[in-house]
Amino acid sequence: MPHWLVVGLALGVASSVLAACLFVAANRLYPSRQARRRRNDGEHRRRAELREYLDAIDESYAESHFVEGQHVAFYLPERDVAITFDAQAYYRIERSPTVPVLVEHEMPGVHLGDRLPFDVPEVEFGPDEADEERVDPAVAAFSELGVPTSASLEEVKAAYRQKVKEVHPDQGGDEDEFKRVREAYTTAKQHAG
C-alpha cells in the first residue's frame, strides 16, 4: 500500500473518532429538551415518590448511598435497610446484614410500604383513589389529546397525528407518554361525536 493511502486512512479514522467524541461530549453537556425530559421522567419521578412516601411515614433516609460496596437509591440507617432499583445490587447486598428492598421503576411509591421489612403506619399518600375513580375516561382521553369532548372523529384523528409527532419515541419522545396518547386516541375515537 502506498504511504499516502495509509496516512489518509489513519487521518480519516482519527478525525471520525474525534468527531464522534465531540458529539457525545456535547450531547452530555448540552442535552436536548427531550433527552432532559426522558432522563428526569422515569427514575426521577419514582425517586420523588419514594422520597415523599418515606417523609410521610417519618423515616430518616440517605439518598444515593453506598451500602456494602453497592450504590443504592435510599438507605434507612436506623433500620439498616437499602432500597435499590438495581437487581444485581439487591442480590449482592442480600448476603450482608443489611436488608435490601428491590423496587421496580414502574412501581408507585405508595407500594413501598408493602415491601419494607418493618411495620409502617397508614398514611394518606398520593392522589385519593376515590378522586381517580370519578374521572371519566372519555374526558381524560379528550384532554390528553387536547381537544374538547364535543370534537368530531376527524378532529380527534388530527389531534392524535399532531400529538404523535411530538411524543413518538423515534422523534425523541417518551415511551410512556406515547402509550398514554395511543390509549387516549383509542378511547376518544369511541366517544367522538
Distant-in-sequence, close-in-space partners of 125: CB < 8 Å, separation ≥ 6: 52, 53, 56, 109, 110
**CB 75 within 8 Å of CB 83:** yes
Which residue is it, cell 392524535? 160
pLDDT of the residue at 34: 58
d(CA 154, CA 147): 11
| CA dihedral sign of residues 43, 44, 49, 50 | positive
CA dihedral 87, 92, 96, 99 (to 10 degrees): 0
Residue owning grid cell 474525534: 18
Residue 70 forms beta bridges with which residues? 67
The CATH class of the 40-115 domain is alpha beta
Burial class (CB in 10 A: 0-12, 13-18, 19+), 51: middle
Would you state the pLDDT for residue 158?
Answer: 92
Q: What integer pLDDT is reported at residue 191 of this predicted model?
A: 83
Topology of domain 129-191 in CATH is: Helix Hairpins (1.10.287)
Q: Tens of pLDDT along the chain (193 residues)?
A: 899 999 999 999 999 999 999 988 888 887 766 555 554 456 777 888 888 899 999 999 998 888 888 889 999 999 999 999 888 889 999 999 999 999 887 777 788 888 899 988 887 755 544 444 556 788 888 888 888 888 899 999 999 999 888 888 887 777 888 888 888 888 888 888 7
Domain boundaries, the chain: 8-33, 40-115, 129-191
Q: Determine the pLDDT at residue 137.
A: 81
DSSP state of 101: E
pLDDT value at residue 44: 77
Contacts of 119 (CB under 8 A, 6+ apart): none
pLDDT tens-digit series, residues 128-179: 444 445 567 888 888 888 888 888 999 999 999 998 888 888 877 778 888 8
pLDDT value at residue 22: 92
Find the angle CA(15)-CA(19)-CA(23) to the nearest 5 degrees: 170
Alpha helices in 63-152 (DSSP H): 87-94, 112-115, 129-134, 137-145
Task: Give the angle 131-153-164 at the CA atoms, nearest 5°.
Answer: 75
What share of residues in the chain are helix, strand, coil (percent, to 5)?
60, 10, 30
The alpha carbon dihedral of 75, 76, 77, 80 has a sign of negative
